[in-house]
Amino acid sequence: MTTRSDNPNHRDIPRTHTIRPMDAPPMNAGSTSAQLKGDINSGRTGDKNEVFDPGLSPLGTDDEAGGVSPSADQVDLARRQETVDRWQNANDRDSYAHQHSRKALYAYVGFIALVLVVFAGAFSMF
């Protein structure tokens, strides 16, 4: 029997590109926990940047192990609350995770420039 360390091609495990943005799964009735995890990984829910996030146990594994898997209706409701309802009344969705806005970077650079101007003015008085 060959193991991963014996096999230089590693063809038994597919490559996963964790730095490429993920597409969100389609919103349809009869959703699964994997689709909810796909919503989170794609950035649709606003929880994180839109890249694959490998996990030791996929979302919903504990429920299945306990014998109480979520129904498709429960997952549909969770997907709706995490996406549509969550952002319906939101003030501003622009952040690095959404639309790749650099507002925080510009504010930080502006603050540093202001501090430098204040220090330069304070030292020029002496």
Per-residue pLDDT reduced to its tens digit, 100-116: 667 788 899 999 999 99
pLDDT tens-digit readout, 5-46: 555 555 555 555 666 777 778 888 888 888 888 888 887 887
- The radius of gyration computed from the CA coordinates of the chain, to the nearest angstrom, equals 23
Q: Is 0.75 topped by the overall pTM?
A: no
Closest CA to 69 of 36, 35, 33: 33
User: In whole angstroms, what is the distance from residue 51 CA to residue 19 CA?
Assistant: 6
- Give the span between the Cα atoms of 84 and 46, in whole angstroms: 11
Measured over the CA atoms of residue 33, residue 36, residue 38 and residue 40, the dihedral's sign is negative
